[in-house]
Structure 1
Amino acid sequence: MNAGMVEKGRAAWPDFIRKEFDANQFNGRVGTQLLSETERVRVWEIRLAPGERIGFHRHVLDYFWTAVTPGRARSHAEDGTIVEAIYSAGETRHFVYGKGEYKIHDLENVGEADLWFTTVEFLDSSNKALELDR
């Protein structure tokens, strides 16, 4: 992932982004579609056409994502940063959260082709899984 910080501070966010952040701070849907869930894992897909975005969601579980396709994305993070990143097909990143730790962000496809990720969350993490609206 080739990332560069664009701006810092939620005040720089558009109004609709700030309002969505406030409304979705405890959203546990970390993908666009839940593909599978067992007692051990949740497997998610994120597929975004150019210009589409997945709204704010909270990561509390250990997880990894793999970019299925290459592409470019923009993300707003809880601390107010706006980051743009370039992803390569097959690129994978792992994340671990200690008790009480989390990350809140959104993801927008700012590239010219579909952006596709697979994300796997581990339910036996330090934090309890967030409830999902089914």
Structure 2
Amino acid sequence: MTENTSPSLRSPEFLTDAPLAGTLVGTDFEGWTDELRAEFDAHAHDGHVGSRLLSENKRVRVWEIRLAPGDRFHAHRHVLDYFWTAVVAGTSRQHTADGTTRDVSYSAGETRHFDFAEGEFLLHDIENVGDTELVFTTVEHLDSANAPLDL
């Protein structure tokens, strides 16, 4: 299943309205620690959207994220059009810079696409709250409306 969305912190309703966006479990930074808020500030322009850069050429960056149960990948900023595919089924919790927290379930092979207009971005983290490893492949399109962030 594939869904195209246009995320922006100026209009974060895409997260609520998009199919497969997960279950809203918190708003207004409810449950966020001071450390988590500080991390979002520190990583507000972090373009490392995966834990390992697998490949890059003039058109795309291909990333991998592997999270054991209980592991978390720090806050990071998406500015480029991209898609990810869940390699295995699992469950995550994601905090987003608009102060929301969501629980998201994934099926193996599930893919979601995101498109960003100029100036739009998505700043979030991801934590494995399930009991199996989470593995994602993310592909960023370097010819997007926004310039790539430095790595």
1:72-117 residue CA offsets vs partner (Å, 9 max, x unmatched): 0000001000000110000000000000000000000000010000
Unaligned runs of 5+ in 1: none
- The answer on 1:23 being equivalent to 2:42 is yes
SS in 2 for 1:22: helix
Partner of 1:46: 65
For normalisation by structure 2, the TM-score amounts to: 0.85
Partner Cα distance (1:37, 1:54) in 2: 21
Alignment length (residue pairs): 132
The one-letter amino acid paired with 2:57 is T
Partner of 1:108: 127
Structure 2: which 5+ runs fail to align?
A: 1-19
Q: Contact 1:70 / 1:88 at 8 angstroms: preserved in 2? A: yes
**Are positions 1:123 and 2:150 aligned together?**
no
Over the residues paired in the alignment, what is the CA RMSD in angstroms? 0.9
- Picking from 106, 109, 114, the partner of 1:95 is 114
Q: What is the aligned partner in structure 2 of residue 55 from structure 1?
A: 74
Counterpart residue identity of residue 34, structure 2: D
SS in 2 for 1:18: helix
Distance 1:98 1:70 in 2: 30
Name the structure 1 match of 2:13. none
Matching residue of 2:31: 12
SS of aligned partner of 1:35: strand
Q: CA deviation at 1:2?
A: 6.5
Q: Which has the higher strand share?
A: 1
Letter in 1 for 2:64: E
Q: 1:92 to 1:9 in 2, by over 3 A?
A: same
Cα distance, 1:3 vs structure 2: 1.1
